Amino acid sequence: MLAFPSVAPFRLDQVTAAPLLMAVLFAAQLLLAAAMAWAGVRQRTSCWWAAALALVALVGLFFTLASWGNSDTTKLSYYFSFDLSRVRGEAFWVLVAPLVVRLPYRMSAVHGLVVAGYALAPLLLAWRWRAPAWAGWWSLLICCSPLLRNFLQNGVSRQALATLLLVPLLLWAGQLTEVRRRWGALAALLSLTMHTAFAGSLTLALLPGLLARRTTTLALLRRRLHRPAGAITLVAVAALVAGLALLLALALPTAVEKLAVYVQQESYFNKYPLDPAVGRLQAAMLLGVLLTCWWRRLSWRALLSCGVTRQLILFGLLYHLMQWSVQAVWFPQITSRLADVVGLFLLIVYLAWLNRYQCHWAVLPALFVTVDYWLIERLLPSRLLSCGLDDNFLCVPDRWPWQIRYWDLPSR
């Protein structure tokens, strides 16, 4: 039996290319998205929910198989059984590691569940915004997006899940939909336990609060404290702050240590923000904005007075800044790891902006570019992958879960 390698790529064997299988799974996702569009137009609620749940399940299965050949999922599947120092400072993963090693395909199954969450989020938003016919297409727009290549196609499951849990906070801060503050706060606290990049992601999620017209948090708190239940509110806020301080105290040392390593020692960074598909998607999103402005006859004054427009401009500029940082090699070790965070928030705000002006159809250019990228640049070339010689997305398991070998554990 081969020993587990000490450097990436970690996958030595037990992988194969299965382009036909993956193409069939993705074709089924397209059919389900079309079925959701039909059910949404015909107001067939039960059919819509059945198709939605099937789509989420298929997305989870697709990414479980597709992430099997990635180094990040492979090394955690191996080390979670005996060495949790790999997730030091991330309490959630320390606690769930014994469960992860009992799942079929281990960390790949976790990654499939994470991406299923990414598929579910736009479905729920479409339902909340009364745009059910577009829900399936929004889901594919996010899960297949080149903006999220590092998160979803490189198997960066921990940071991807931590960022997904900050979406309710983003929606609340930007007034994009009604979100109960306590649920947003609890999701943010859970996110803190999942990845040491929490501080940067949290800051990005709260930025829309500076641009949306809203009563300040201090004013809201003062108003609540004057109500009869003000004392209870004060205790709840104090408990929340105390919990946040405790979790920060536990995670901060590791986060600072990792930041120092990235700045002083780490030389690797991904160049996915510079991929031509990303540029095409940015152009397609801009086209969608221009079409909406033309259709609704929006002036610059009307646009700039809209808080959602300002948020869209903010995240668009931030992503351009990430691209410039990678291209100029200016701390790309950090910015390349935050680019997917900005990419996810940009996509969510973009959908919220289209919904704000009721021009859901203007997502079609971005959707076309995304599906084209997925089919032409990801699925079709997968038949040529050198599975087993490199850590490639879409290299799937060549055996059932109970036949997998996770190599011999080293002596302790």
Contact 342, 153 (CB under 8 A): no
Rounded CA-CA distance 399/396 in Å is 9
Helices of type H across 43-106: 45-66, 71-79, 91-100
pLDDT of res. 266: 58
Contacts 24+ apart (CB under 8 A), 31-38: 32/58, 32/136, 33/136, 33/137, 33/139, 33/140, 34/136, 35/136, 36/132, 36/133, 36/135, 36/136, 37/133, 37/134, 37/136, 37/137, 38/133
**Separation between Cα atoms, residue 18 and residue 394, nearest integer Å:** 8
Q: Return the structure tokens found at 90.
A: 């991330």
Query: Which pLDDT score, from 0 to 100, does residue 95 have?
Result: 93
Which tokens belong to 330?
């200016």
Between CA 325 and CA 308 the distance in angstroms is 26
CA dist., res. 223 & res. 202, Å (int): 25
User: Residue-wise over 79-93: b if at least 16 C-beta within 10 A, else e?
Assistant: bbbeeeeebebbbbb
Predicted local distance difference test score (pLDDT) of residue 215: 46
Q: Is 159 exposed, middle or buried (0-12, 13-18, 19+ CB in 10 A)?
A: buried
pLDDT computed for residue 216 by the predictor: 43
* CA gap 399, 120 in Å, rounded: 28
pLDDT along the chain (412 residues), means of 10: 71 88 96 96 94 97 95 90 84 92 94 97 96 96 96 93 95 90 86 85 89 53 50 53 53 53 61 94 97 93 91 96 92 88 97 96 97 95 88 92 75 38
Model pLDDT, residue 405: 85
Q: What contacts 180, CB < 8 A, 6 or more positions away?
A: none
pLDDT value of position 248: 54
Distance CA 340, CA 150 (A): 7
CA distance 316 to 349: 10
Q: Distance between terminal CA atoms of the chain?
A: 19
Q: Helices marked H in 67-193 — which ranges?
A: 71-79, 91-100, 107-128, 135-143, 157-164, 167-173, 181-192
Q: What is the pLDDT of residue 218?
A: 45
Which pLDDT score, from 0 to 100, does residue 329 have? 85
Strand partners, 17: 395
